[in-house]
Structure 1
Amino acid sequence: MLEVAGVPVLSDNYVWLIHDAASGETVVVDPAVDAPVLSAAALRGWRITQIWNTHWHDDHVAGNIGIKAATDCRITAPDDRDHPIPAIDRIVGEGDRVGIGAFEGQVLSTPGHTTVHLTYHLPGAAILFPGDTLFALGCGRLFEGTADQMFANMQRLATLPPETVVYCAHEYTQDNARFAVTVEPDNVKLAERMLAIDAAREAGRPTVPFSIAAERDTNPFLRASNVAEFTSRRAAKDVFRG
């Protein structure tokens, strides 16, 4: 199986290293910076061969050039002509394939947070890298896209196998949980999850990754029944200060 390691950077970002021992390959997902990522890989003895970018925001691509210069890795990213991603070797979109070792990944188009945004799904390893589309108990803000697009993303990701492990790009879970309980105050599974989240953060532990099964039970955006309900929840979260 693949091994995934998180590199916490900036104030709340996670950069993910995906390592395949059989081939010796290592993929970096959304490198916000270069030096800590290179150090984390070197510490493990992992050779970085690829970068996968989900979208153009600087806290997802600023490490591209430095990592490529140090490793000669291949960069795969979406084609965002309004916001070109640096040092791309291969442009991908909906329906394309990526791979690490013997594992094949599917490229999903998940716009909403930005006009062009990708999610990488490796079904053989049951892992998902949604960038800023899906968070634990949350979803990305609609900076460039629409509520209809993001609602469609939530509906689509909810159909993935429940055991799918999700590696999102930010540690937003505690704040998301505080909002989620205002939407579903009687959700017992949500209350239980919030206690576990608070305990993890108190102990300095990450709350990512998480499962699609957990999101189906507790994420108010994934659980929205229609676009209007989703839109109302997204607007409320945008101004939430709980």
Structure 2
Amino acid sequence: MLRVALILGFLAYASAYVCSKDACATVRCANVAEAECTSGGGKFVANGGYCGCCDACRQQLAEGDSCMSMVLLGVSMKAECAPGLHCDPKTLKCVQGFGGLLLSRRDDAPCAAALLKAQNGPSLLGAPTPSCDGEGYYQPKQCQGSQCYCVSKNGKEISGYTANVWEAQQMTCQCARDQAEYMASGLIGKFFYCTSDGSYQTYQCQGDVCFCADTNGVKMDHSPSVHISQVTKLNCKTGF
């Protein structure tokens, strides 16, 4: 319980923190020597410290090291996963790879470009670190501070679908994205049944026929079908 309370406190702090334009005027920077930093296994980052005011020496976290501070407070000012590793949002540990990005697409896809900028630019407390798919586009669910929300593949927020980060373990945003893309196509006639966090409801309907669906809105094998007026009789959560 104490651990959860501390995490929530950090999240609230990070989401509320904003660097003012005059932040550097009151900051006294510690002397960070590049040679000393790199010889100790760190990475020297010019203007990588508090609000981009000071130089920083970032500890390079090894595979398996905890990267919880990176998730809670945005891009960490003092530590980051070493090159070739990324912070796994599920285990909160540094793991191999670049978050599933295809290297040939990293530089020109919108999320990949934002991710590289976040990893290599100045560390700002509370700055969001985007979550990218295998082609370098934005994952449907993104989180910043204490809130998670749904976005398009190019990172534009889809309004109306949010959740507290500690309640978003099952949040997929796939329904919200599919619906937004369908509406943008100009097509009409298809209905999407989404939850308040943008995930697919456990049931979906085509016309006046409803059935149990998986997390992608696809009809599950052996699911019974009922008239839309009888949809409440579907026991999709408990089996059928």
TM-score (norm: length of structure 1): 0.25
- Considering fraction of residues, name the structure with more strand: 1
Structure possessing the higher relative contact order (Cα contacts under 8 Å, 6 or more residues apart):
1
Greater CA radius of gyration, 1 or 2?
Answer: 2
Name whichever structure is richer in helix by fraction.
1
